[in-house]
């Protein structure tokens, strides 16, 4: 393994000059400038974040969560970029930093990525910068290191591009770009729990690609390629114990892997293609305690639940654990306390459907929020 994250990550600047922004974006999108040392969490807890992905101008929408009931829209913040107006075919279009202080949003229509600082009274748009490629669809962060997945609709020119987050301004790494296979239809980029491995799911290539992260954030030149036991690997979640759970849309299944136990094999298959009997399991979410995983089944408009044991093995708990009333099921977010699951139901009328999570992994529907913008993408919770 590489040196521990704390030794190989560069120190980040925690301040940015007043008014700093890129490509003409207003520095203050909403609320006041946050102080990274403020103890008042403000927008740093109890919220859901989602992008509208609108062609006329992408907007970050902020929702307040309720203990027993639907979420409510409390803020709409322009990102300074444009969306595509349709589904991105990805997971991770919106991502939170590991510190909880920053939020990243891809602007697929304008080939850029925006960074917001979450503060006491709102969220400040700090920068909107080129994404390092065309059509960014997924973004991930670990300890100030950010990688953006660029996946053009034509399938030519797929790349991941690396950045350093310096107080909300993303600075490209000198050797931070790696090309992916053309027409492989990559769906998500994400870090392992230690920030030492970068994983990309490739739908059309039916495989996972894993790059080891070097000391200064750049990726090794050659990745490890792991064939997927299920067809069309799509979204994934990684537990704190470094168990990787991947949804497979073509077989409506999920597979699990252990990460990083062998130098020559960073991904070790544990459970291959555990089917849920539904349709198009595309998005995946895991609970913070690593005990449960949920797949959003787009074709069946429902959610399946899986148990994860200490070895990383999957067991299907309920093929139909939760329903979105025929409205589809796409992006999902589990809250940091592991007590709620929120699902984007993408068919008209577009909704966010909220569930509570029982100690045994069961779901109970508690509310529905309508009026969600068609084509929205990405859903995260803090």
pLDDT of residue 42: 83
pLDDT of residue 264: 66
pLDDT of residue 143: 96
Phi, psi (degrees; rounded to nearest 5) at 123: -125, 130
pLDDT of residue 262: 62
pLDDT of residue 263: 63
Cα torsion at 43, 286, 296, 327 (round to 10°)? -30
Q: CA torsion sign, 303 to 331 to 55 to 63?
A: positive
Find all residues with CB under 8 Å of 41, minimum gap 6, and list them.
Answer: none
pLDDT of residue 15: 29
Compute how many other C-beta atoms are within 10 angstroms of the C-beta atom of residue 1.
12
Q: What is the mean pLDDT of each run of 10 residues along the chain (382 residues)?
A: 36 29 35 36 91 98 94 96 96 97 98 95 95 98 98 95 98 97 97 97 98 95 96 98 97 96 82 97 97 97 97 98 94 97 95 97 97 96 96
What are 367's two structure tokens?
């509310």
358: exposed, middle or buried (C-beta count within 10 Å: 0-12, 13-18, 19+)?
exposed
Continuous segment of H or E residues that includes residue 75: strand 69-78
What are 143's two structure tokens?
């300890």
User: Buried b / exposed e across 73-105, counting CB within 10 Å, b at 16+?
Assistant: eebebbbbbbbbbebbbbbbbbbbbbeebbbbb
Q: Please tell me the distance from the alpha carbon of residue 219 to that of residue 175, in angstroms, as a whole number.
A: 8
Query: Please, what are the domains in the chain?
Result: 20-381 (2.130.10.10)
Return the closest-CA partner of residue 289 out of 271, 305, 310, 269.
310
pLDDT of residue 7: 31
pLDDT of residue 121: 81
pLDDT of residue 316: 98
pLDDT of residue 184: 97
Q: What single DSSP character describes residue 325? A: T
Identify whether the C-beta of residue 152 lies closer than 8 Å to the C-beta of residue 135.
Answer: yes
């Amino acid at each position: 393994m590489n040196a521990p994250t704390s030794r190989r990550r560069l120190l980040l600047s925690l301040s940015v000059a007043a008014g700093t922004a890129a490509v003409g974006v207003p520095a203050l999108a909403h609320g006041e400038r946050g102080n990274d040392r403020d103890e008042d969490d403000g927008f740093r807890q109890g919220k859901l974040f989602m992008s509208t992905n609108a062609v006329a101008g992408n907007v970050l929408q902020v929702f307040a969560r309720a203990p027993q009931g639907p979420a409510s829209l409390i803020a709409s913040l322009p990102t300074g970029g444009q969306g595509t107006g349709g589904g991105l075919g990805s997971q991770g279009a919106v991502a939170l930093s590991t510190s909880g202080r920053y939020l990243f949003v891809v602007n697929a229509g304008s080939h850029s990525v925006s960074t917001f600082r979450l503060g006491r009274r709102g969220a400040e748009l700090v920068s909107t910068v080129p994404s390092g490629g065309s059509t960014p669809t997924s973004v991930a962060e670990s300890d100030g290191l950010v990688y953006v997945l660029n996946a053009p609709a034509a399938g030519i020119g797929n790349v991941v591009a690396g950045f350093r987050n310096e107080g909300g301004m993303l600075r490209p790494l000198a050797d931070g770009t790696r090309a992916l296979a053309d027409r492989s239809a990559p769906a998500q980029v994400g870090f392992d729990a230690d920030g030492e491995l970068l994983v990309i799911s490739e739908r059309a290539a039916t495989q996972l690609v894993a790059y080891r992260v070097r000391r200064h954030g750049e990726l090794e030149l050659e990745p490890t390629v792991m064939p997927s036991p299920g067809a069309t690997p799509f979204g994934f979640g990684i537990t704190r114990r470094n168990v990787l759970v991947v949804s497979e849309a073509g077989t409506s299944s999920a597979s699990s892997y252990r990460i990083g136990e062998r130098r020559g094999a960073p991904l070790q298959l544990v459970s291959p293609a555990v089917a849920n009997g539904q349709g198009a399991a595309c998005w995946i979410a895991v609970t913070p305690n690593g005990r449960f995983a949920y797949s959003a089944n787009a074709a069946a408009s429902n959610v399946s639940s899986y148990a994860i044991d200490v070895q990383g093995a999957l067991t299907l708990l309920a093929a139909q654990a939760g329903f979105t009333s025929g409205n589809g099921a796409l992006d999902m977010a589990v809250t940091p306390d592991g007590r709620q699951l929120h699902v984007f139901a993408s068919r008209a009328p577009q909704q966010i459907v909220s569930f509570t999570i029982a100690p045994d992994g069961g779901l109970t529907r508690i509310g529905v929020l309508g009026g969600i913008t068609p084509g929205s993408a990405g859903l995260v919770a803090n």
